[in-house]
């Protein structure tokens, strides 16, 4: 679910990339990177941490001079189970060499069945530096026999399996690519002196750019000094299968993704969840921030008064409480590394108001229930503050299947709904009742047809065949 960014324009695009990545911070908090070209030479800077930690110093940005550039925020699903010393090599964008010409590439998504590609590239002389699936693309481009970079790219793309949205920097152009299923989002915008590619349209706001359109599934867009020099469909039989979790959780509410507003989706899902799972609670409240918009719709449809009963500490110590040996200030709990004690995190991240919940029946609204290690802590907090009853309402269906297309849900064993019934989950989280949104209602709230969504984590049916490994 990484955030990617690309831009062309007048001299000084590094600052715009910084702000673009800042507005895409919610998509990845593990690392950030930027590469900029003046048309002749490429300079780059990357490191572990938030955008402000890695790039937020004037002495860094002033050295990154150029008119073309890309950026990346990392949220890893492959290649993070490595030593801290080696982990820095997985920070994007990686560098490649095509016929003596350096290029950089930023990737959002997950490639599968890559071992054959790695063996092929290694046999052709490429030396892998990372454990990331992204470097497979860099490697295949670096060892391509094609004379033209775009021809090499078009030769490679149909062979890739999985999900990908890409921004690629050459010395005098930026290329945007979306996979043939449109699983990961990518859109096109314009600013005063050039064009922009970004994972979400929210990245345009701070730099004063305007949204033009979504990049289509299976499309390539080439930006250079003339503007949009080429735009065409590279894939045969492209079809939109947008990851529904973009709407459920990941995307920022003010973005537009394939014509859909995540805000509207969440509001509608909350309304439908209330109708499907009625309760006589005294008040409704949300898990900040993930359940907030859903709670608006839930309260509207149910008639239950909406209260702010659960607050998030704005000075949350995610960097200290993560198991990482590095100081990394995670903000979104879901983005934290594997192995993090999420129940412990909740005790430091959230607090409840006794004045609001004491002797009350409380309906708690959230977007999803994945591992089942957050809800028990929240419910325990409410009971300790005197809540008489706690009813949990989840505004998406049970997540029963792993994701191999860009969300860190690597195995069924980690998903509580894969082995427990709704009643058993209710007992595990110690709620008085538990209600999920029905799948058909989730689809209705999205505004897209079922065949235009990836619903694999809910149904086990994927738009791309599961990995062989």
Determine contact, residues 247/260, Cβ cutoff 8 Å.
Answer: yes
Distance CA 112, CA 161 (A): 6
Alpha-carbon distance values, 311 to 314, 325, 424 (Å): 9, 28, 28
DSSP output for 146-175: -SSHHHHHHHHGGG--EEEEEEEEETTEEE
Query: Catalytic: which of 2, 243, 352, 403?
Result: 2
- Cα 400 to Cα 243, 458, 469: the distances in Å are 16, 6, 19
Helix residue spans in 157-228 (DSSP H): none
In 33-148, where does DSSP find H-type helix? Answer: 51-55, 58-61, 84-87, 115-123, 134-142
CB 5 within 8 A of CB 197: yes
Strand ranges of the sheet holding 389-394, from the earlier edge strand across to the other edge: 283-286, 361-366, 389-394, 433-436
Q: How would you label 183-200 residue by residue, b for 16+ Cβ within 10 Å and e otherwise?
A: bbbbbbbbbeebbbbbbb
Q: Is 2 a catalytic residue?
A: yes
Do 211 and 189 meet the contact criterion of CB atoms below 8 Å apart? Answer: yes
d(CA 212, CA 131): 36
Torsion of CA 308, 437, 250, 189, to 10 degrees: -110
Do strands 95-98 and 101-111 pair parallel, antiparallel, or not at all (unpaired)?
Answer: antiparallel
CA-based max dimension of the chain: 73
The rounded distance, in Å, linking the Cα atoms of 365 and 294 is: 7
Can you tell me the distance from the alpha carbon of 183 to that of 405, in angstroms, rounded to the nearest whole number? 8
Residues recognised as catalytic: 2
């Amino acid at each position: 679910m990484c955030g990617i960014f690309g831009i062309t324009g007048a001299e000084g695009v590094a600052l715009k990339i910084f702000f673009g990545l800042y507005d895409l911070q919610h998509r990845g908090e593990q690392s950030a990177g930027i590469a900029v070209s003046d048309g002749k030479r490429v300079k780059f800077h990357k490191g572990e941490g938030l955008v402000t930690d890695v790039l937020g110093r004037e002495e860094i940005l002033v050295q990154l001079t150029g008119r073309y550039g890309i950026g990346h925020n990392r949220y890893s699903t492959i290649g993070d189970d490595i030593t801290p010393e080696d982990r820095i090599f997985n920070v994007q964008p990686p560098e490649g060499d095509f016929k003596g010409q350096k290029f950089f590439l930023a990737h959002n998504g997950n490639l599968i069945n890559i071992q054959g590609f790695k063996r092929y590239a290694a046999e052709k002389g490429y030396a892998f530096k990372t454990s990331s699936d992204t470097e497979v693309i860099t490697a295949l481009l670096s060892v391509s026999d094609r004379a033209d970079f775009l021809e090499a790219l078009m030769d490679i793309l149909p062979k890739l399996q999985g999900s990908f949205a890409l921004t690629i920097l050459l010395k005098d152009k930026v290329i945007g690519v979306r996979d043939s299923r449109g699983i990961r989002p990518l859109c096109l915008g314009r600013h005063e002196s050039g064009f922009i590619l970004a994972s979400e349209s929210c990245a345009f706001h701070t730099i004063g750019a305007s949204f033009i359109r979504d990049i289509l599934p299976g499309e390539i867009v080439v930006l250079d000094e003339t503007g949009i020099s080429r735009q065409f469909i590279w894939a045969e039989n492209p079809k939109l299968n947008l990851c529904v979790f973009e709407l459920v959780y990941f995307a920022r509410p003010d973005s537009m993704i394939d014509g859909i507003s995540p805000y509207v989706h969440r509001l509608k899902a909350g309304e439908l969840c209330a109708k499907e799972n009625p309760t006589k609670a005294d008040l409704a409240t949300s898990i900040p921030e993930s359940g907030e918009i859903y709670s608006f719709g839930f309260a509207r449809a149910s008639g239950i008064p909406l209260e702010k009963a659960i607050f998030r500490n704005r000075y949350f110590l995610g960097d200290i409480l993560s198991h990482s040996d590095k100081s990394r200030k995670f903000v979104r709990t879901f983005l934290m590394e594997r192995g993090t004690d999420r129940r412990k995190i909740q005790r430091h991240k959230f607090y409840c108001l006794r004045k609001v919940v004491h002797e009350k029946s409380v309906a708690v609204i959230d977007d999803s229930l994945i591992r089942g290690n957050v809800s028990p802590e929240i419910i325990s907090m409410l009971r300790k503050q005197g809540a008489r009853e706690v009813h949990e309402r989840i505004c998406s269906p049970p997540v029963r299947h792993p994701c191999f297309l860009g969300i860190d849900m690597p195995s069924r064993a980690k998903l509580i709904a894969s082995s427990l019934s709704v009643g058993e989950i209710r007992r595990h989280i110690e709620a008085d009742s538990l209600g999920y949104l029905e799948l058909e209602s989730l689809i209705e709230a999205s505004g897209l047809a079922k065949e235009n969504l990836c619903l694999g984590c809910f149904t086990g049916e994927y738009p791309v065949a599961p990995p062989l490994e």
